[in-house]
Amino acid sequence: MVMSGTPPSKRRDRSIAPTRRRLLKAVGTSATLGAAGVAGCLGTIGGDAENTVTYATLNPMSGTYNSLGPTQRKGAELAAKHINESDEFGFELKLVKGDTETDPTAAQQAARRLVNKDGAQFLFGAISSSVALALNEFAQDEEIIYNPGGAAVPITGEACNEWVFRAETNTAQVAEAVSEYTVKNLGNRVWFHISDYAYGESVLKRVRSRMEAADANLEVVGVSRSQLGASNYDSFISGIGGSDAQVAVLGMTGSDLINFVGQAASQGLKDRVNLMSPTMTFAVVRGALGKAAVGTYGGVRYVPQLETGDNRAFVEAYREEYDGEDPDNFARVGYESLRMTARGIEAAESNEPAAVKDQLPGMEMDTIFGRNQFRACDHQAMNPTWMGELVEGSGETAGVKLLSKVEGKDALPPCEQLGCSLG
Amino acid sequence: MAAAESGTVRETADPVLVTEDLTRRFGSLVAVDGVSLEVERGEFRSVIGPNGAGKTTLFNLISGALPPTSGTVRFDGEDVTRLPPHARVRRGIGRSFQITNVFGALTVHENVRVAAQSVYDAGLPIAERFFCSTADFEEINARAEETLERVGLADRATERAAALGYGDRRRLELGLVLATDPQVVLLDEPTAGMSREETRATMELIDDVLADRTLLLIEHDIDLVMNVSDRVTVLDRGRELTTGSPSDVAANERVQAAYLGGER
Amino acid sequence: MSAATTLLEQVLNGLTIGMVYVLLAAGLSIIFGVMDVINFAHGEFFALGAYVGLSVALATGSGGFWVALLVAPLLVGLVGAGVERFTIRPLYGRNPLYHILLTFGLVLIFKDVITLIWGQQPYQFAKPPLLSGTVTLFGFDYALYSYFVIGIGALIALGTWLALTRTRYGLVIRAGSMDRDMVRYLGIDIDRYYTIVFAFGAMLAAVGGVVLAGRQNVAPGMGNAVIIPAFIVVVLGGLGSFRGAVVGGLLIGVIQTFVRSQFPFLEGLAVFLLMIAVLLLRPQGLFGNPEWGTGGEGGDLLTAGDADVFDSALKRRIGVGLVGVLAVTPLLIGLPSYYVNTLVVNILIWALFALSLDFVMGYAGLVSLGHVLFYGVGAYATVLAVMHLVPSLFVALAVGIAVSAVIAWVVGYLSIRVSGVYFSMITLAFAELFFSAVFKLEWAGSSDGLFGFDPVYGLFAGPSVGSIELVGGVSVFYYVVLAAVVGSYLLARQVMRAPFGSVLQAIRESELRTGFIGYDVTVYKRRAFVVSGGLAGLAGGLAAVQTGGVSPEFLAWIRSGEVIVMTILGGMGTLYGPMLGAGVYLVSKELLLGITEQWQGVLGLIFVLFVIFVPRGLVSLPGLLAGRFDRSPGGGTDVLAEEETEVTD
């Protein structure tokens, strides 16, 4: 994504910051030596044992995204368990936990606690983009590996840095899956309704441009924006219903999306207009909407019924661990973030983040999605994405029927286009 | 006009405080109804009347606590009708309250000192106003101490005002007014709730410390003001019944009727 | 669709959401009118209604919705009665501020209890089939459920109105909400009605919760989402006015809907602008009693100024010692740098924020519910200054202070003329206005915030702040913060000892009297507000540097609540008390974080107990304890009276 709040000046700083930091470190070390008498007891903490890796999982357990944090954490916990049980990994993974409170300041403080006090060298978590962006900076300052849980493009786009490796599927990848299918199959008279914040704007921009590329006859009937966190969408629903739109693309997530679709369903909009949202298939959304979600469309980052990679094994293990509960995308991200990074640790034969960050880029490995990698130029995992339709499920919750798939290499736009160029 | 009736007290008319046709309504109730007063410089004027006669409302209008519905207030020739209370204090109209209103958590000295400081407020340079300790302003402190001497609270200067007894708090109330160096002092029942003994002491104190000022005193006990006042204005149901020397007023039949009819 | 039907549809949309506001605001308003309680927990009753309704509906199967609609409000009403009886009752006669604090604590408790019972995932209420789908009325389609919401809202509002006007209880309550003292003069013990009123308000909120649950998902944050609009309705309609709540609720609902479709760029702003405008033109609200709030009723703000038992020499020694320890120990002891660079820095920043609030709340009696505005503006201005002006830390912080002070002047100019609760509400509205606006500002980073900036020392060159480390990983920034906070405290203390501060203390004691010894109270308050805004801006700027960026969360109202909690926890009107409060709050949070996921609830419980039993804050604790052990006359209070207290520092 090209817009976003990161100003141009920032990129200039980035290039000099590491060297400056190293310089300062050297100064600091000599100062330490100078004051050796008093500073003798300042050893590093936690990082001493060669075959232990301290991994921090920092999830939104309170605040706006608190409904999503718990499964993200469960995925990470399951990964830690598997890594420790498996012979494949020659080290012990110690998991330490924190709460982002969906607030960058609190998240940054929690991250410091986990790194400085508990000795974490690897960090996973966050969902909201402002928190993830704050942790991006933190990872670079602290020189630790960070796996963001947020989907916003700039995290591995404009704001990318060499310490950040993302296993989550980003918005651009999902847009790739939904745009073409939607405009070709659901209708080319489109209304965009978005939540008025960075994520919504990025959906509008990206999906629209992909649709334009796929179908020259695309007609954008209307664009409307609601405040983030709004709970009443009647007026927008009326507006869309009163237009001749065939499809409404909803650039919103979580409660906003749930409320929109729920209210749209009860006003009968669903019968007249196809509703499509990149996040419609989220387990939380489906769980909350129940039958009201049936008949809508969405992008798919992950669903448990996938037959890719070792997904079957993952789903089985997850169900066993958590009382038959199915994993959702956040659980997959938690699991895969830790496992992919752990593979890098194993291959680098070092628990030093600096060594791992040199090892990971472009390294092919087996994942839930089959062969995958953190792409070398931006450290974004090359996940495949799907278009899905919500259909009658077994119980109250709607199921997801996969309509089309976009392979990992096709789903991810080139690095230059996303604004990142590493290594 | 009422002043003509008395005619004896002042030869040269030098009114410092003048109200013209001052009126205040609360909904359908007319609390003060067309009152026109002229208070001479240096005069001790008492305003009496039964409960609900509009005395305190009149004070509120003169001091600026309430805006009048119509009419004007002039002070020293200037129309002050629309000025807020603090601006009137700055010009020289001080008032005390019927219910004692002092700064409870502050010391007695600090109470009076803050009041004295207001005289200098406009002239303080910003840096001094914000950053110099109050203890450094000798003139203000001297003024505060002098005021405390005059109201007889010098030996209790370091106590919190809230810890004072009722009578002493009334004295402090007077001290607050005095410290702002007013030309005209409005006293709202300064002896309310006091014993006979305290009342006499307070009236003597007022006569003593405020002798050089123009005084406007509200009282509903008619006997109390007879000896000390130059002139007395009687209010009844918001209207000015009469104004005159104490003896004239005492002899006035309408006043007697109002008091007999109006009270109990 | 024709223009007329579109219009009709938008009006119906507005009325639907408006009715829910009415249900919330009616209870809130009556509770305030009768009991002077500003009930921040009202939104939680609303959420609790939705959750209890959900469970009841699930348990009773088909037709469960109707059972829920009946049972959930009753249960929540019962909870409300308990809350009133055991937490609010001990506080009557105190300033409404204490109810804010208490109910803020209750919000935290309720929220955690809700997540403990129902979990964090959102639910969707199964609407009864009877109410699903659309219905054609007057020739156009509309959701049946919306008609149902409007209908049931109108029915309950009407019923409440009849109860208030036709029953003896209602008449007493209504009279009490207009003029409590008058009711007392009539010899009616209005206090007896408090429990009923509170429970009834909770019930109305719960009905709103159940009804709205049919339209939107049931999630832990739902109480938080409605409380601010509900307050706006109440303030707009006039505190204590039932009619105001009804008209205000419907008005806000309709206006919100229209703005959304007609002026989308004003969405989220219009309501706050409207509230600010109404308060400025008609401070008592549309139907409020104009005499309210000018009468000086409302009980005392319990400052700790006179409950402070330490003498000033001892305090100075403790203070100097503490600063010495903070300055030297990090270099000597090998603490994990987290404690110094993060925890202590965070405490210091919040201490500064609390200090800034105490400056106006504890001294000028201005209870600012929107103080986070200055903190957030300071943070944004600091970050923007580094990015676009000069990358110097000190220049950026100065810009942050200046911009915050200017905004404080403007907000102060507009809002200080309204008094008491209205002032609190108008500051809250300003803060929410900025919070909403920042999402729309591309150059302020929208929801992503602004991250990745690097302030350096000095003007144009010098090492970067975040990275420079001294012995043992203690960053230089730690000392910058320490110096800024200690300096601000000394400055604030000196201002309180100066003529300016002495007038503020007089204002705190009696605004009326201060005016009548010749001070322009409004001007003094405004100046204090500017100083306070500047200090808060500095705190925000430091926080932004510490976080490495800024995001809309810096402007979230919950932080205003937190800083008020810290201030009262420590003991306001003492300057150092609130700073102590910040430390205790954050250390407690740190400890609780390690023990329980429900740390917010436990913190909430601590506040509730504190507000009830130690209202003057931690500073008063030694005196309280001493008083408990030494009941002989001349014990506790006389000592206080003899103490030299020119300035409470």
Q: Which two tokens stand for residue A201?
A: 């704007």
User: B162 contacts in C (CB within 8 Å)?
Assistant: 306
Write the residue in C442, C471, C549 that is nearest to A137 by C-beta: C549
Residue B138's pLDDT is 86
Choosing among B86, B98, B155, B168, which should be mutated to test the C contact, i.e. which has the most C CBs within 10 A? B86
Which chains, if any, share at least 3 CB pairs under 8 A with chain A? Answer: C
CA dihedral of residues B80, B81, B84, B87 (deg, nearest 10): 10
Encoded amino acid at A159, one letter: A
Task: Look at C516 and B114 and tell me if their CB atoms are within 8 Å.
Answer: no
Same domain as A313, residue A206: no
Any CB–CB contact under 8 A between B133 and chain C? yes
Any CB–CB contact under 8 A between B259 and chain C? no
Instruction: Please state, rounded to an integer, the average pLDDT across all residues of chain A.
Output: 84
Q: How far is A370 from chain C (nearest CA, A)?
A: 30
Q: Which residue of C has its CA nearest to B162?
A: C641
pLDDT at A135 over 80: yes
Residue A186 in domain: yes
Give φ, ψ of C63 to 5 degrees: 80, 5
Residue C468's pLDDT is 59
Q: What's C192's DSSP letter? A: G
Same domain as A287, residue A181: yes
- pLDDT class of C629 with cuts at 50, 70, 90: low
Instruction: Please state, rounded to an integer, the average pLDDT across all residues of chain C.
Output: 82
Question: Distance from first CA to last CA of chain B, Å, rounded?
Answer: 30
Contact A378, A418 (CB under 8 A): yes
Residue C307's pLDDT is 53
Tell me if there are at least 3 CB pairs under 8 Å linking chains C and A: yes
Any CB–CB contact under 8 A between A29 and chain C? no
Separation of alpha carbons C331 and C584, rounded Å: 23
Task: Look at C145 and A266 and tell me if their CB atoms are within 8 Å.
Answer: yes
Same domain as A334, residue A245: no
Least confident span in A41-50, B111-120, C87-96: A41-50
- pLDDT class of C311 with cuts at 50, 70, 90: low
Contact A135, A262 (CB under 8 A): no
Q: Which two tokens stand for residue B87?
A: 């601006």
3-state secondary structure of C221: coil
Residue A8 in domain: no
Any CB–CB contact under 8 A between C134 and chain A? yes
Who contacts A147 (Cβ-Cβ below 8 Å, separation ≥6)? A122, A123, A124, A125, A164, A165, A166, A167, A168, A337, A338, A340, A341
- Average pLDDT on C18-35 reads 87
| Largest distance between two CA atoms of chain A | 78
Write the residue in C498, C506, C512 that is nearest to B106 by C-beta: C506
| Residues B60, B62, B64, B69, CA torsion sign | positive
Q: Which two tokens stand for residue A301?
A: 């980052």
Domains and CATH numbers, chain C: 3-124+140-281 (1.10.3470), 312-595 (1.10.3470)
Who contacts B49 (Cβ-Cβ below 8 Å, separation ≥6)? B55, B220, B234, B235, B236, B241, B258, B262
- Average pLDDT on A158-185 reads 92
Separation of alpha carbons C300 and C335, rounded Å: 44
Contact B24, B57 (CB under 8 A): yes
Task: Look at A226 and C267 and tell me if their CB atoms are within 8 Å.
Answer: yes
Who contacts C64 (Cβ-Cβ below 8 Å, separation ≥6)? C56, C57, C58, C126
Q: Which residue of C has its CA nearest to B97?
A: C513
Total number of residues shown for chain C: 649
Q: Which two tokens stand for residue A231?
A: 């709970």
Tell me how many domains chain A contains.
Answer: 2
**What would the CATH number be for the domain defined by B1-92+183-264?**
3.40.50.300
Q: pLDDT tens, C481-538?
A: 999 999 999 999 999 999 999 999 898 888 889 999 999 999 999 999 999 999 999 9
Encoded amino acid at B249, one letter: V
Contact C149, C131 (CB under 8 A): no
Q: pLDDT tens, A76-107?
A: 999 999 999 988 888 999 999 998 888 888 89
Q: What is the 3-state secondary structure (H, E, C) of C486-528?
A: HHHHHHHHHHHHCHHHHHHHHHHHCHHHHHCCCCCHHHHHHHH
What count of other Cβ atoms lies within 10 Å of the Cβ of residue A364?
9
Separation of alpha carbons B152 and C404, rounded Å: 47
Instruction: Please state, rounded to an integer, the average pLDDT across all residues of chain B.
Output: 84
Q: pLDDT tens, A267-278?
A: 889 888 999 999
Q: What is the pTM of this model?
A: 0.84
**Kind of pairing between the strands at A122-125 and A52-59:** parallel
Which chains, if any, share at least 3 CB pairs under 8 A with chain B? Answer: C
Same domain as A326, residue A247: no
- Average pLDDT on A398-411 reads 92
- Which residues, in sequence order, are bridge partners of residue A193? A224, A250
Q: What is the 3-state secondary structure (H, E, C) of chain A?
A: CCCCCCCHHHHHHHHHHHHHHHHHHHHHHHHHHHCHHHHCCCCCCCCCCCCEEEEEEEECCCCCCCCCHHHHHHHHHHHHHHHHHCCCCCCEEEEEEEECCCCHHHHHHHHHHHHHHCCCCEEEECCCHHHHHHHHHHHHHHCCEEEECCCCHHHHCCCCCCCECECCCCHHHHHHHHHHHHHHHHCCEEEEEEECCHHHHHHHHHHHHHHHHHCCCCEEEEEEEECCCCCCCHHHHHHHHHCCCCEEEEECCHHHHHHHHHHHHHCCHHHHCEEEECCCCCHHHHHHHHHHHCCCEEEECCCCCCCCCCHHHHHHHHHHHCCCCCCCHHHHHHHHHHHHHHHHHHHHCCCCHHHHHHHCCCCCEEECCEEECECCCCCEECCCEEEEEEECCCCCCCEEEEEEEECHHHHCCCHHHHCCCCC
Any CB–CB contact under 8 A between B91 and chain C? no
Q: pLDDT tens, A251-299?
A: 998 888 988 998 898 888 988 899 999 999 988 888 888 888 999 999 9
The alpha helices in C61-95, defined as continuous H runs, are: 64-83
Same domain as A197, residue A242: yes
Write the residue in A61, A128, A238 that is nearest to C9 by C-beta: A238
Contact A166, A148 (CB under 8 A): yes
Q: What's B162's DSSP letter? A: G
Task: Look at C515 and B84 and tell me if their CB atoms are within 8 Å.
Answer: yes
Task: Look at A266 and C127 and tell me if their CB atoms are within 8 Å.
Answer: yes
Encoded amino acid at B183, one letter: Q
Q: Provide the chain B residues 167-226 that lie in CB contact (below 8 A) with chain C.
A: 176-177, 179-180
User: Of all helices (H) and strands (E), which one includes residue C259?
Assistant: helix C242-262
Separation of alpha carbons A241 and A243, rounded Å: 6
Write the residue in A103, A128, A255 that is nearest to C217 by C-beta: A255
Which chains, if any, share at least 3 CB pairs under 8 A with chain C? Answer: A, B
Task: Tell the burial category of A118 from Cβ atoms under 10 Å away from its Cβ (0-12, 13-18, 19+).
Answer: middle
- pLDDT class of A59 with cuts at 50, 70, 90: very high
Inter-chain CB pairs, B–C, below 8 Å: 114
Contact B81, B56 (CB under 8 A): no
Domain ranges (residues) in chain B? 1-92+183-264, 102-181
- Cα R_g (chain A), whole angstroms: 22
Residue span of the structural domain in which A245 resides: 172-300+385-415
Same domain as A145, residue A50: yes
Q: How far is C411 from chain A (nearest CA, A)?
A: 24
Any CB–CB contact under 8 A between A1 and chain C? no
Same domain as A181, residue A246: yes
Any CB–CB contact under 8 A between C644 and chain B? yes
CA dihedral of residues C473, C477, C479, C483 (deg, nearest 10): -170
Write the residue in C219, C220, C471 that is nearest to A32 by C-beta: C471
Task: Look at B179 and C512 and tell me if their CB atoms are within 8 Å.
Answer: no
Question: Distance from first CA to last CA of chain C, Å, rounded?
Answer: 68
User: C134 contacts in A (CB within 8 Å)?
Assistant: 266-268
Any CB–CB contact under 8 A between A144 and chain C? no
Q: Which residue of C has its CA nearest to A65?
A: C120
- Average pLDDT on C337-344 reads 79
Q: pLDDT tens, C535-575?
A: 999 999 999 988 888 999 899 888 888 898 888 888 888 88
pLDDT at C167 over 90: no
CATH code, domain with A185: 3.40.50.2300
Q: Which two tokens stand for residue A40?
A: 């003798």
pLDDT at C308 over 60: no
Write the residue in C512, C518, C641 that is nearest to B163 by C-beta: C641
Q: Is ipTM > 0.90 here? A: no
Q: What's B44's DSSP letter? A: E
- Which residues, in sequence order, are bridge partners of residue A249? A192, A276
Least confident span in B28-37, B144-153, C89-98, C343-352: C89-98
pLDDT at C348 over 70: yes
Task: Look at B107 and C500 and tell me if their CB atoms are within 8 Å.
Answer: no
Any CB–CB contact under 8 A between A392 and chain C? no
Q: What is the helix, strand, coil percentage profile of chain B, to 5?
A: 45, 25, 30
What count of other Cβ atoms lies within 10 Å of the Cβ of residue C331?
15
User: Of all helices (H) and strands (E), which one includes residue C87?
Assistant: none
Contact A73, A97 (CB under 8 A): yes
Contact B40, B15 (CB under 8 A): yes
Task: Look at A39 and C334 and tell me if their CB atoms are within 8 Å.
Answer: yes
CA dihedral of residues C125, C127, C128, C129 (deg, nearest 10): -140
pLDDT at B219 over 90: no
Q: Which residue of B has its CA nearest to C640?
A: B160
- pLDDT class of C466 with cuts at 50, 70, 90: low
Same domain as A140, residue A233: no
- Which residues, in sequence order, are bridge partners of residue C94? C300
User: C518 contacts in B (CB within 8 Å)?
Assistant: 86, 89-90, 115, 118-119, 121, 180
Task: Look at C513 and B176 and tell me if their CB atoms are within 8 Å.
Answer: yes
Please report the DSSP string for C356-367 in residue order: HHHHHHTTS---
Residue A23 in domain: no
Same domain as A178, residue A101: no
Task: Look at A4 and C132 and tell me if their CB atoms are within 8 Å.
Answer: no
Contact C127, A266 (CB under 8 A): yes
Same domain as A279, residue A181: yes
Q: Provide the chain C residues 422-441 that lie in CB contact (below 8 A) with chain A.
A: 436, 439-440
Please report the DSSP string for C277-346 in residue order: HHHHH-TT-SS--TTTTTS--S-B---STTT--S-HHHHHHHHHHHHHHHHHHHHHS---HIIIIIIIHH
User: B159 contacts in C (CB within 8 Å)?
Assistant: 641-642
Task: Look at A113 and C9 and tell me if their CB atoms are within 8 Å.
Answer: no
**Across the beta sheet with A297-300, what order do the strands follow?**
A219-226, A189-195, A247-251, A274-277, A297-300, A385-391, A399-406
Q: Which residue of C has its CA nearest to A290?
A: C124
User: C466 contacts in A (CB within 8 Å)?
Assistant: 141
Same domain as A295, residue A399: yes
Instruction: Give CA separation, A389 vs A178, A229, A262, A275, in Å.
Output: 11, 25, 16, 10
User: C497 contacts in B (CB within 8 Å)?
Assistant: 133-135
